[in-house]
Structure 1
Amino acid sequence: MTDPSQYRDPRNPGGPRIPRAEWDGAPHNRWTFQNVRQIVPTAEVWRGPGPVLPLSSAPQNLAGLEFECDGTRQTIAEFLDTSFTDGFIVLHKGAIVTETYMNGMQPRTTHLSQSVAKSIVGTVAGILHGRGELDFAAPVTHYLPELANTAYRGATVQQVMDMQSGVLFDETYTSPDSHIAKVDAACGWKEPKPGWPDTMWKLITELTESEAAHGESFRYRSIETDVIGFILQRVSGLMLPELVSRELWAPMGAEEDAYFTVDPSGYGLADGGFNATLRDYARFAQLICNVGAAHGRQIVPRSFIIDLPNGDHAKFGDDYRIALPKGAYHNQFWLEEPGEPVAICRGVFGQLIYINPRHDFVAVKLSTWPEFTHPRRTRTALAAIRAIRAVVV
């Protein structure tokens, strides 16, 4: 494996270069996920001029805490060492219980969140919905009439928020010709093949086939979040990075600017292009934990947060129960199990935010797995976080 530090060694200008077609996969992701701005075009999500949301400190030594998953016992330290960790933080009642940086990551380092971005964008949709600017019950074509000739015709905004649109979209990460491979090209991460769409908007307008009736079942489709992203831009008149800054990142009190990767048209990738620091991801999670309030005012509507656990578990499907056996999906958040207000944000290669408002408990793990997905790694991470929760709350 090439030492990631060689990719930008100022003493060696002729050193190794990262292949453009492989930058977001192993082993390169060990370096690139912390340096996305040096790989692809990006747009700033300004933190604004306001105060930073404070995170107090209540440290506990959890390195030796043991837990079990799938018949294997290990300590938290062993888990972090063996799971390609870049950053790990736990908050209880808004205070940092433990915070770990690995693989060269530092507190000010931004890290690609992959599909954690979906929950960020979904939250901004909830803010506009709470102000009456966005109607979740309205058809998608009310806001984007251009999609009347696509398979999104007849789908509601809520069905897209819950990934229940019925649109045919192949999310097979390892297939070179899947729809998600076309996303990689359309969003500007990779070079498009001849005939492929070169922007995210063009890709969406080419989705003309359905696989099910709208609202019939859940199927994970990353492109759904981009449909929401374009709706948000149409409603607000702002590009997505500026909108996220205005509605969420600045009001909540982020400490650092975040950023989105952008496609050739300047569109910020809603489904997976968001980058931020470990502590600011934790601040976002704490905002959800605080039922949408920060700095003495309501930023995200309480109704949106309170509604998060109300996903339709019956429509979740067996394919998605491997890592979350009792799970569901609602408003761009994963749900742990029925009746529990635990919201989870997940991204490929091991990005995870765990939010438990009942116990005022938050955990964030940023990783660079060698695999896109790995159910056992996900189960292990959740088991470790639950074990920590059991001793700190």
Structure 2
Amino acid sequence: MTSYRNSDPLPPIMQGSPPQMVPPRLDWDRAPWNRWAFQHIRELLPTAEVWRGEGPVRELARNELDLDDLLVADGPGPEQTLAGHLDESYTDGFLVLRKGAVVYERYFNGMTPRTLHLSQSMAKSVTATVFGILAGRGIIDPASPVTRYLPELERTGWRGATLQHVLDMRSGVRFSEEYTNPYSEIGQVDVAAGWKPVPPGTDPAFKWPTHMWELILGLTETDRPHGEEFVYRSIETDVLAFAMERATGKRLAQLVSEELWQKIGAEESACFTVDSAGYALADGGFNATLRDYARFGQLILDNGGGVVPASWVEATRTGIHGPLYSESFPTGSYKNQFWIEDAESRSLMCRGVFGQLIHINWDHEMVVVKLSTYPDFTNRDYSVATLKAIHAIADALA
């Protein structure tokens, strides 16, 4: 079984006591196991709470429409309904906010409004937003060298790089994002972060990092001059997070709680996965509910809402555009750990592998969140189809 869509019979993964189908430790994030695992991270991995605080929940007004039968272009294929697209693309949760009100909200695959769902690389945007808050108060300076905050990295490839290089993934540090190669640096992240054991059958002489800081210290080579070129590398976000922790004396989960989650009126506490040294995985270990991801997106749409400096949001919407960035949106860009869809709308996106997306569009005053469990890390057809669906929803609501 490769995977199952929501319209297919549900396999009994982790059903019964004791359960008969238990996700294998090496492949919990792969199909079909990810369809269960992404909603149950706290049952699989150690986590640190991102407390929502004691403040009031930001209530979301409701102006609901039944968009199930809205015709949307399905990537390279013919038009189909929005409901059909959500089934085809292994959706767990989908929510549309327009002018701050819920227009459309759907849950699948056992997900509920209280379920925390793994964000994968949407965590990068959450982390960088807190960086922007700290920068606005002068606690950390994006123009400063990385080594101002982390002098130990003078012996690594980040020597000479600024934090802005890291924010924009324009440092020259050598790091392979080859997900299916266990020896690649991103493969080593799985082990260092505590997500996976050392893969059986690998070279016994290979030195696997025991936690994320150890992995970072071992990245001593560069491929290009700092600032020359964008190359997507997840480890950049973890360097940012360690700099934030060093500048504040607080751990990342506490920073996200105090600076962001307690201020957006979150409905539920979130969580991060943590490694053996207690480090919260900034590049992909954040988990939250569908509605709280939407509240985060609305905060950005509100130009920071008095929490994030408006100048930071504006700077994040301003990038160098071109096909270098993504084949799914060839006029896109990347800035401050957010994706920019194109130079005209300047819509921002938080994106994660296996189909995680927050889409923030100022022209239509709209936030869309899609939480998914694709069978593969990436799928261009699904990504293109989802953007086309979002545009169709925007046109229908205009």
Question: TM-score if structure 2 supplies the norm length?
Answer: 0.94
Residue 313, structure 1, aligned to residue 321, structure 2 = yes
TM-aligned CA deviation for residue 197 of structure 1: 0.5
CA distances 1:220-276 after superposition (whole Å, capped 9, x unpaired) = 000000000101111111110011000000011101000000000000000000000
Correspondence for 1:207? 219
Change (3 A) 1:20 1:155: same
Question: Matched residue of 1:251: which SS?
Answer: coil
Deviation at 1:71, TM superposition (A): 4.4
Could you state the TM-score of these two structures normalised by the residue count of structure 1? 0.95
Secondary structure at the residue paired with 2:112? Answer: coil
- The residue correspondences of 1:166-205 to structure 2 (distance < 5 A) are 166-192=172-198, 194-205=206-217
Query: Which of 85, 99, 103 is the equivalent residue of 1:79?
Result: 85
Contact 2:50 2:270 in 1 (8 A): yes
CA distance in structure 2 between the partners assigned to 1:12 and 1:261 by the alignment: 26
Query: Aligned with 2:169: secondary structure?
Result: coil
1:70 and 2:72 correspond:
no
| 2:313 pairs with 1:301 | no
Cα deviation 1:25-70 (Å, max 9, x = unaligned): 1110000000000001000000001111121000111111112232
Range with bigger deviation, 354-363 or 265-274: 354-363
Equivalent position SS for 2:157: coil
1:260 aligns with 2:266: no
Q: Structure 1: how far apart are the matches of 2:270 and 2:357?
A: 17
Q: CA deviation at 1:5?
A: 6.5
Number of equivalences: 385
Percent identity for Structure 1 against Structure 2 = 54
Where in structure 2 are the equivalents of 1:122-271 lying within 5 Å? 122-192=128-198, 194-271=206-283
Letter matched to residue 307 of structure 1: A
What SS does the corresponding residue of 2:104 show, helix, strand or coil? strand
Aligned letter for 1:369?
Y
CA contact (8 A) 2:13 2:33 kept: no
Query: What RMSD in Å do the two structures reach over aligned CA positions?
Result: 1.4
CA distance in 2, matches of 1:62, 1:93: 17
Q: How does 1:48-67 map to 2 (within 5 A)?
A: 48-67=53-72
Secondary structure of 2:363's counterpart equals helix
Q: Where does the alignment leave 5 or more consecutive residues of structure 2 unmatched?
A: 4-8, 200-205
- CA offset at residue 14 of structure 1? 5.7
Aligned to 2:202: none
In structure 2, the residue matched to 1:392 is: 397
CA distance in 1, matches of 2:221, 2:236: 14
Structure 1 residue runs of 5 or longer lacking an equivalent are none
**Pick aligned residue for 1:382 from 384, 387, 390:** 387
Structure 2 contact 345–362 (Cα < 8 Å) conserved: no
Cα distance in 1 between the residues matched to 2:17 and 2:117: 25
Aligned to 1:119: 125
**Structure 1 position 287 matched with structure 2 position 306:** no
* Residues 309 and 340 in structure 1, CA contact (< 8 A), matched pair in contact too: no
The yes-or-no answer on 1:33 pairing with 2:45 is no
Offset, 1:195: 1.3
Structure-1 residue corresponding to 2:6: none
Looking at structure 2, the residues matched to 304 and 149 of structure 1 have their Cα atoms a distance apart, in angstroms, of 31
Post-superposition offset of 1:357: 2.1
C-alpha displacement of 1:307: 1.2
8 A Cα contact 2:157 2:221, kept in partner: yes
